[in-house]
Amino acid sequence: MKILVMNGPNLHMLGKRKEQHYGTMTLEQLNNAVSQYAKNKGVETEFFQSNCEGRLIDKITQNTCDAIVLNAGAYTHYSYAIADAIECCGKPVIEVHLSDVENREDFRKISVLTPVCKAKFFGKKEKSYFEAIDFLVENK
């Protein structure tokens, strides 16, 4: 099984964002931790980050992986274009967030992606990604 782990806008800034929400890891450290976790479960990973909505859509709809773990950053809250891409990509997509989006500003409580994703894990920093991998392994 190969999982595509995607990170959207401003996640390249991890390590410099608010520690209480996002922790101290850089994106590279996060990707390494996720890669190691997945490897221990016998899962191969590929990583992709972009700040651009269109590039994220291109990758969601054109990849050779079996499933996607997606942190769409702020696009989560309003990108119907990404929601449409998830809906038609033909692969299970799991929504993840580092922070506890349900207990922050009101706009973060809204996700236009949740209805088209198979599951959602949030609020546990890198462990949210680990939970998404566990879900995909258990439900393949």
Phi, psi of 41 (to 5 degrees): -100, 5
Residue 1 or 29 having the CB closest to ligand DQA: 29
In the complex, the smallest distance separating the C-beta of residue 35 from ligand DQA, rounded to whole angstroms, is 18
The catalytic residue among 12, 22, 78, 129 is 22
How many Cβ atoms from other residues are within 10 Å of residue 54's Cβ? Answer: 11
- 22 carries an active-site annotation: yes
Residue 107 or 140 having the CB closest to ligand DQA: 107
- 21 carries an active-site annotation: no
- Which residues in this chain contact ligand DQA in the complex, by CB under 6 A? 10, 71, 73-74, 76, 97-99, 101, 108
Residue 45 or 111 having the CB closest to ligand DQA: 111
Of the CA atoms within 13 Å of residue 25, those in its CB half-sphere come to 15
Element (H, E) at 46: strand 44-49
Tokens representing 107 are 């706009």
Tokens representing 79 are 């990108």
In the complex, the smallest distance separating the C-beta of residue 33 from ligand DQA, rounded to whole angstroms, is 15
Paired with 96 in beta bridges are 121
Residues labelled as active-site residues? 22, 97
